[in-house]
Amino acid sequence: MAAGLQAVRESAPALKRQTMPRAKRAAIVGIPAFLVLAFTGSMSLGLIMAALILAALYIPAWSALPAGKWVVLAGILLLAILYPIYQPNLFDVLVFGNFPSADTGVTMLVFIMMALGLNIVVGYAGLLDLGYVAFYAMGAYTVAWFASQHFSGVTVHVGGVGVAPSTPGFHISIWLVVIIAGVFATVAGVLIGFPTLRLRGDYLAIVTLGFGEIMPQIAVNGDNLFGRNITNGSQGINPIDPPGFGDRLHNAVGLPTDFLSSPNSTRLFYWTALFLVVVTAFCSARLRDSRLGRAWIAIREDETAAAAMGVPLMRTKTWAYAGGAFFGGVAGAYYGSFKGGTFPSDFYFNISVFILCMVILGGMGNIWGVIVGAAFLSYLNQEGLANIGAWMNANGVSDFVFRKQIDVPLYTSGIFGVILVLTMLFKPEGLIPSERRKQEFREGVHDQPLYDVTHE
Amino acid sequence: MATEQARIRVGRPGYRPDVLTIIGLLLVILFGFWLLVNFIKAPADFYNLFLIGLTNGCIYGLVAIGYSLVYGILELINFAHGDVFMLGGMLVATMVTGWSLQNDSGVVLWLFIILMLLITMAFCATINTTIEIVAYRRLRNAPRLAPLITAIGMSFILQNIGLVWKGARPTSVPDILPNGTVFTIGGVPYTWNKFIVLLFTIPVLLALMWLVQRTRHGKAMRATAQDREAAAMMGISVNRTISFTFFLAGCMAGAAALLYALYFTNIRYTEGFRVGLIAFTAAVLGGIGNLPGAVLGGLVIGFVQAFNEGLGWHAPGSDWTQSIVFSILILILVFRPEGLLGERTPEGA
């Protein structure tokens, strides 16, 4: 085993050498970035940002230095942490308009988290999950049950903030609920995975799709499930308690009592989400390099060979499913608390595909790729498309091309469809692929079933 | 694609009921019992629902054949198929309104319906073939995930086209089918609008069967489905054969779209996805890649849906139809992944 590991480590630099030349990479990213910045108003801030972006994009060069990787990581993290503070002073980008607000930032971070979770299933283990939204729903409903007035028959307060102590219903601290939600989603993941993970490829995709379709229907019909109101039907459950630290910690250390009533509520939500993303990214990275992670990758590359080498298929796949589900559940719970409500319309199939889109566009299996893909697409969905549409309408592009003013958000699903198709056709490994994944897509994998299907 | 050893067929093992089989049988018996009780309680309702189920089942079967054809030859779930069907339905809505067919009757109406059938089939077949050439052809040798994701992307694009074309509200299609009674069964009239669906489905299916079983094109299709490389070596133009398969699948979707739009008298941009999933379930239920199986699966799903939505005794009701259909899908894949008429494959074993 140790010798095998050694071989894998030694082959890593060999893989690295095959990447694009650094100068070419810098030119490809740097020149458009400079052009975009050159067209914008405030040059001074623009130049600083340009320098920072270029520095961030130069990760391969930096990481050659000892500890350089950590410097870059710290720099990016610092930029992310300070974002809500310097965001209002940022310049407008051509076409895209202003930078996303911190509020949009929270949504983006939640989607980054979900995409990282799905990346474990799709990117690492290579199991196409088309019903990932089921875990998100699981998390969102968990927070709705344990931190709202929904179950008004009981009054349980365990560190809940933002409500009077006499308010009926479960009011458990969001920090706890987020973990409970993760555990619930994990259990759901194992339960769903157990019967279905025996299936390969397309069949698995279809079964997960089936679960993903059943979930919102249960949520919609759940207001009368065996005579009980579990999900409050299509009206959803709201309000949900905000996260917070309670009076005692507020008085002792100065931590905010509850996020919602705090004067800089959005920033608090943003920083918490960022913290969750960092934890998720860290866990993904560590999982990927663990024994389990290597087993996932082995299964992805060749299931039959992996099984022959003694990788327990079912157990390994179930762990991938459970891991992905955990982060989906946590993200769902936090998002529910941020939005203050949980509604069944949030859990339709297109959200599953939307998250899948992020993973694919960014680059399956690569954490940075997934983060960039998720941030970009959720930004487009939240603000970007509307901004682009407004710009096109205001500057006569719409009139010139379409002969009328257009409503770009109307085309959201089509645009995502185009992104999926174009990515698959021209860059199937995604924008920032992991080296290994890229080679799989270029050279093809031999993951044909041992016995093939015969059609007669 | 397939090596020598990859073609070894797995025979059914000797008969020995395992736990899964017993649970599966129990589920089927429970279902049968439920149907029987309902039949005894209200026979008239039962007959009526049977006819509704038959009609729905025909439409699902037609769509399901499209999935089965494509899966049989490419092992690809063509997610966009349902949306091709939806666009066909929208075209029918446009034609019926545009030509004010609600004012016609008799022979003129029939001629127009047949004309619309041909136009819709051609329309859907063109879209389907175009999709194959644009989106799937480049990915012939890519990992199997790649074309599947492209298919989902195409489905989204077509759905968006539907949304932009007809808006978010359901488009109503003027009711042009006659409503008279063909014959009565158990006191329940079998109306013309239901009968027409059957009347159109059967010849279309027979034509397809003839095409696949008896013609050179059909032979080429079957050969390509069996082994693409060997087929190419035998001088079969694989790409053209695959395009032809998509063409046929599109034709089936077109026929289904016409019947759906005329029978249900409305169509919405999300309908393609919904019907597509149901039809795909039907295809899996019957044994994917197996054409009679797809029709059988479609009928079963049609009956299940009708009985679930209409029966009085312990039926979950229309709120749960979709969940039930997908539960069937999941159960089938768990208990009998090869489907009702399919062969046992290692995919699910």
> Domain containing A200 — which CATH number?
1.10.3470
- Do A447 and A301 touch, CB atoms closer than 8 A? yes
Q: What is the mean pLDDT of chain B?
A: 84
Distance separating alpha carbons of residues A298 and B166, to the nearest angstrom: 47
Q: Are residues A82 and A102 in the same domain?
A: no
Interface test with A, best of B323, B341, B343 (most A CBs within 10 A): B323
| CA distances to A44, A81, B198, B271, B318 from B306, in Å | 68, 56, 16, 17, 9
d(CA B28, CA B33): 9
Is B329 close to A411, i.e. CB distance below 8 A? Answer: no
**Amino acid occupying residue A6:** Q
Report which secondary-structure segment, H or E, holds B172. Answer: strand B171-172
Full 3-state SS string of B87-152 = HHHHHHHHHHHHCCHHHCCHHHHHHHHHHHHHHHHHHHHHHHHHHHHHHHHHHCCCCCHHHHHHHH
Nearest-Cα distance to chain A for B43, in Å, is 28
Domain residue limits, chain B: 44-335
What's the whole-number mean pLDDT along residues A305-331? 90
Please tell me the distance from the alpha carbon of residue B161 to that of residue A386, in angstroms, as a whole number.
19
| Across A2-6, A205-209, A226-230, B101-105, least confident range | A2-6
Beta bridge partner(s), residue B266: B172
Residue A16 has a pLDDT of: 45
Buried b (16+ CB within 10 A) or exposed e, B4-25: eebeeeeeeeeeeeeeeeeebe
CB atoms within 10 A of CB A396: 9
d(CA A126, CA B12): 29
Q: Are strands A155-158 and B181-185 parallel, antiparallel or unpaired?
A: unpaired
- Cα–Cα dist B201/B224, whole Å: 27
Asked whether residue A308 is assigned to any structural domain, the reply reads yes
Same domain, A187 and A331: yes
> Residue B91 pLDDT > 90, yes or no?
yes
Note whether residue A378 is domain-resident: yes
Same domain, A133 and A271: yes
Q: Judge whether residue B6 has pLDDT over 50.
A: no
User: Any CB–CB contact under 8 A between B143 and chain A?
Assistant: yes
Tell whether A69 and A122 lie within a shared domain.
no
Contacts of A218 in chain B (CB under 8 A): 323
What's the residue count for chain A?
A: 456
Q: In terms of domains, do A79 and A197 share one?
A: no
Q: Residue B194: enclosing H or E segment and its boundaries? A: helix B192-214
- ipTM of the complex, rounded to two decimals: 0.81
Flag whether A111 is in a domain. yes
Task: Kindly tell me if the per-residue pLDDT of A181 is higher than 70.
Answer: yes
Provide the 3-class DSSP secondary structure of residue A312: coil
- Partner-chain residue, chosen from A218, A421, A445, that has the shortest CB–CB distance to B154: A421
Decide if B207 touches A, using CB distance below 8 A: no
Least confident of A291-305, B77-91, B149-163, B308-322: B308-322
A313 and A412 assigned to the same domain: yes
Domain limit, last residue, from A33, A63, A94: A94
**Is residue A10 assigned to a domain?**
no
Give B 45-74 residues with CB within 8 A of chain A. Answer: 72-73
In whole angstroms, what is the distance from residue A93 CA to residue A220 CA?
Answer: 41
Tell me, yes or no, if B77 comes closer than 8 A to chain A by beta carbon: yes
Judge whether residue B339 has pLDDT over 50: yes
Confidence band for A37, pLDDT divided at 50, 70 and 90: low
Range of lowest pLDDT (A43-47, A154-158, A327-331): A43-47
Q: What is the pLDDT of residue A31?
A: 61
SS3 call for A89: helix
Is B144's pLDDT higher than 70? yes
Among the partner residues A411, A419, A452, nearest to B7 by beta-carbon distance: A452
Q: What is the DSSP letter of A197?
A: T
Domain B44-335 sits in CATH at: 1.10.3470
Could you give the count of Cα atoms lying within 13 Å of A87 in the half-sphere of its Cβ? 18
Where is average pLDDT lowest: A139-148, A193-202, B2-11? B2-11
Residues B177-221 pLDDT 10s: 887 787 887 778 888 888 888 888 899 889 998 998 889 988 898
In this prediction, residues A20-38 reach a mean pLDDT of 57
Query: Where does the pLDDT of residue A200 fall: very low under 50, low under 70, confident under 90, or very high at 90 and above?
Result: low
Nearest to A23 by CA among A51, A54, A67: A54
In this prediction, residue B3 carries a pLDDT of 42
Q: Are residues A122 and A64 in the same domain?
A: no
Q: Are residues A351 and A401 in the same domain?
A: yes
**Integer angstrom CA distances of residue B176 from A283, B157, B183, B201:** 61, 31, 20, 18
Does some domain include residue A11? no
Residue B150 and residue A456: Cβ atoms within 8 Å? no
Instruction: State the average pLDDT for chain A.
Output: 78
Looking at the structure, tell me whether residues A159 and A227 fall in a common domain.
Answer: yes
- Most A CBs within 10 Å, among B8, B81, B160, B325, to test the A interface: B160
A443, closest residue in chain B (CA to CA): B142
Any bridge partners for residue A147, and if so which? A171
Contact flag B320-A441 (C-beta cutoff 8 Å): no
User: Which among A59, A94, A129 is the end of a domain?
Assistant: A94
| Residue A3 binned pLDDT confidence (cut-offs 50, 70, 90) | very low
A313, pLDDT greater than 50: yes
In chain A, the number of structural domains is 2
Residues A210, B330: C-beta atoms closer than 8 Å: yes
- Tell whether A1 is covered by a domain: no
Shortest alpha-carbon distance between residue A359 and chain B (Å): 12
Domain that holds residue A58: 21-94
B183 SS3 class: strand
Length of chain B: 349
- B141 closest CB neighbour out of A413, A424, A444: A444
Residue A62 in this model has a pLDDT that exceeds 70: no
Chain A contact present for B213, CB below 8 A: no
Residues A33 and A148 in one domain: no
Residues A117 and A89 in one domain: no
- The pLDDT of residue A113 is 94
Quote the pTM value.
0.82
Looking at residue B4, what is its pLDDT?
Answer: 40
Statement to judge: residues A122 and A254 lie in one domain: yes
Smallest Cα–Cα separation from B286: which of B95, B36, B68, B115? B68
Q: Which of A68, A94, A120 is the last residue of a domain?
A: A94
